[in-house]
Amino acid sequence: MRAFKYYMKRLVIFPSVIITVQSLNVFKRVFGALANSFFDVRKPLVVRTPEERFANLDSLGYTYKPNYVDLSIGGNKKLPRVHYIDEGPENASETILCLHGEPSWSFLYRHMIPPLVASGYRVIAPDFIGFGKSDKFTYQESYSHDLHTLTLRLLIDHLKIKNSTMVCQDWGGLTGLSVVKDLPEAFSRLVIMNTGLPCGTKRLYSPQVIAGFTPFLMWRSLVELFSTQLPIRQVFLRSLIKPTQAIVDAYESPYPSALYMAGAAQWPLLVPVTANTPVAADMKATREYLATNWTHKSALIMFSDRDPITRPSKAMFEGLLPHAAKKTVVGAGHFLQEDKGEECAKNIIAFIDNKL
| pLDDT tens-digit readout, 133-147 | 999 999 999 999 999
Confidence of residue 206 (pLDDT cuts 50, 70, 90): low
- CA separation for the pair 155, 172 (Å, rounded): 14
Give the pLDDT confidence score for residue 275 in this predicted structure: 86
Amino acid letter, residue 183 = L
- CA separation for the pair 350, 328 (Å, rounded): 14
Question: Which alpha helices (H) appear in the chain, and where do they start and end?
Answer: 2-8, 14-38, 113-118, 145-158, 171-182, 207-226, 232-239, 245-252, 262-266, 278-293, 311-320, 336-339, 341-352
Neighbours of 186 (CB within 10 A): 21
β-strand pairing of 122-126 with 95-99: parallel
CB 108 within 8 A of CB 250: no
pLDDT at 6 over 70: no
- CA separation for the pair 101, 119 (Å, rounded): 25
Is the pLDDT higher at 283 or at 20? 283
Instruction: Report the predicted TM-score, pTM, of the whole model to 2 decimal places.
Output: 0.90
pLDDT at 111 over 60: yes
Give the pLDDT confidence score for residue 205 in this predicted structure: 58
Task: Please provide residue 186's backbone torsions phi and psi, each rounded to the nearest 5 degrees.
Answer: -80, -15
Neighbours of 292 (CB within 10 A): 9
CB 149 within 8 A of CB 196: no
pLDDT at 351 over 80: yes
The mean pLDDT value for 227-243 works out to 93
* Catalytic center residues: 170, 307, 334
The mean pLDDT value for 161-177 works out to 98
pLDDT at 65 over 90: yes
The model's pLDDT over 254-279, given as tens digits with 9 standing for 90+, comes to 999 999 999 999 999 999 888 888 99
pLDDT at 49 over 80: yes
pLDDT at 204 over 60: no
Give the pLDDT confidence score for residue 200 in this predicted structure: 81
The model's pLDDT over 73-100, given as tens digits with 9 standing for 90+, comes to 988 999 999 999 999 999 999 999 999 9
Spell out the residues 6+ positions from residue 327 whose beta carbon is closer than 8 angstroms to its own.
Answer: 300, 301, 302, 347, 351, 356
